[in-house]
């Protein structure tokens, strides 16, 4: 009888090791845009379903995980009435009522800015002036010093060819036409980061912008 029970426990343990998902702190990632949104994701090759997983967050908020439309990750997001750089968010991950793990996040450490919207205009001298909208409401809750902390990392080049990177650009950037190939289509992309966390987290890449050089430069 004892040996049968022991064997059953061993089989159950092996079965659970193969199929049961026990998340780690590395599986849980959270970001905030420092305006109104906090988003968290749960990712693992062993995560079979998002059903039943939720994140309790101090203040209080409850974030219900759903399958992402863009990946196999489980994601959830909440709206926050403004962020403070030094504020601590205590989070508890649950499956049903079962507590799986707890994690603390300080706001400034997990800021992931919004994706910038790029615009490119040809200048009178034939160069290309690149400007962008950081997508933040200047009349909202975000303070001016946060806007001043934002930097753009631009990348441009021929599609499928060599790319040029312009890091930590402020305000605007002018691409000199004589450094480009004539009658050629170029693509331009960018990410944005903040020195609130030493530019350690970049935004998602913006939608690609294209521009074409003249036949003769």
Q: Would you list the domain boundaries of the chain?
A: 25-109, 117-213
If pLDDT is split at 50, 70 and 90, which confidence band does 12 have?
very low
> For domain 25-109, which architecture applies?
Sandwich (2.60)
Write the pLDDT tens digit of every residue in 123-138. Answer: 999 999 999 999 999 8
151 contacts: CB under 8 Å, gap ≥ 6: 167, 168, 169, 170, 192, 193, 194, 195, 199
Residue 108 CA: distances (Å) to CA of 30, 55, 86, 112, 178: 12, 20, 6, 9, 41
What is the mean pLDDT of the segment spanning 133-157? 92
Are the folds of 25-109 and 117-213 the same? yes
Sheet of 117-122, strand order: 117-122, 128-133, 173-175
pLDDT at position 140 is 81
Protein fold of 117-213:
Immunoglobulin-like (2.60.40)
Distance between CA atoms of residues 115 and 20, nearest Å: 36
């Amino acid at each position: 009888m004892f040996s049968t029970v022991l064997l059953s426990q061993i089989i159950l343990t092996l079965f659970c090791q193969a199929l049961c998902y026990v998340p780690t702190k590395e599986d849980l990632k959270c970001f905030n845009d420092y305006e109104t949104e906090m988003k968290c994701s749960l990712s693992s090759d062993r995560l079979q379903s998002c059903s039943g997983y939720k994140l309790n967050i101090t203040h209080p908020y409850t974030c219900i995980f759903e399958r992402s439309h863009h990946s196999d990750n489980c994601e959830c997001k909440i709206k926050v009435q403004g962020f403070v750089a030094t504020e601590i968010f205590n989070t508890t991950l649950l499956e049903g009522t079962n507590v799986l793990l707890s994690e603390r996040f300080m706001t400034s450490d997990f800021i992931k800015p919004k994706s910038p919207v790029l615009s490119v205009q040809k200048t009178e001298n034939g160069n290309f002036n690149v400007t962008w909208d950081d997508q933040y409401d200047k009349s909202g809750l975000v303070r001016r010093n946060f806007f001043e902390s934002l930097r753009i990392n631009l990348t441009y080049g021929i599609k499928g060819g060599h790319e040029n990177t312009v890091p930590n650009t402020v305000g605007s950037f002018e691409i000199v036409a004589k450094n480009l190939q004539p009658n050629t289509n170029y693509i331009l992309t960018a990410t944005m980061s903040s020195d609130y966390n030493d530019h350690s987290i970049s935004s998602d890449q913006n939608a690609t912008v294209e521009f074409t050089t003249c036949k003769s430069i």
